Copies of this chain bind each other. A is one copy, B any other.
Amino acid sequence: MGQIGATDRTRARRLPERAAVSTDALYEVLDSGLTCHVGFVYDGYPVVIPTAYGRSGERLYLHGSTGSRMLRTLAAGTDICITVTLVDGLVLARSAFHHSVNYRSAVVFGTATPLEEPEEKLAGLRVIVDHLVPSRWAQVRPPTPRELAATSVLTVPLTEASVKVRSGPPKDEAEDYALPIWAGVVPLRLQAGPPQDDPSLAPGVSPYGQVFSRMREKTWP
């Protein structure tokens, strides 16, 4: 199991038992998440924007329009923070104080590098599309040179990151366990519903079941 060395900004200041920096734990969170939140500093103030991403090996990939403010700012090499969070449950304690949320989160620090070569850009986009919908890239029309030129694809090395996890039942004060109050966990997950056909689907195209099946594989613990 690989390790990423802790730095001053990734070392958890509070609750160190919730921190881990093994690459296995990091990749598990990054691969289980669907979207990320990207933080950067623009004109001196912090900005946090949700976006799609993908991971391949020791790198994350981001993309967007070459005209977007975020992509232009990130491509210039500014410091960024990419956070992926999975909310796993509501933790209901007997006391208000000990209410919590079960979650897994990864916080990645670094800078992004724009990919310049068309083949590199295509490979990065494939990582992102196949992260959203496994194996989708091979089923669809690939980008044209014009589409590729309009898309900025960035890569971020996974060299500085932290992972935090909270799981399990609430931790109440000893004297509160006798209270006649329900306590426990309400598990949560991102669940897929039945796929909705595009109204202009070409005649004879089969219904889609792949993503729905993938999501349904995740059963309740």
Contact = CB atoms under 8 A, between A and B. Distances in A.
Contact of A47 (B43, B81, B179): B81
B201 A183 contact: yes
Contacts of A82: 48
Contacts of A132: 90, 99, 101
A162 to B, nearest CB: 10
Interface of A: 9, 13-14, 34-35, 37-50, 52, 65, 67-69, 79-83, 85, 87, 89-90, 92-97, 99, 101, 103, 105, 107, 109, 125-126, 129, 132-133, 136-137, 139-144, 147, 151, 169-170, 176-202, 204-208, 211-212, 215, 220
A176 B141 contact: yes
B190 A188 contact: yes
Contacts of A201: 182-184
B85 A42 contact: no
A96 B184 CA distance: 43
A94 to B, nearest CB: 6
Given A95-B140, A192-B188, A182 B211 contact: no
Contacts of A140: 93-96, 99, 181
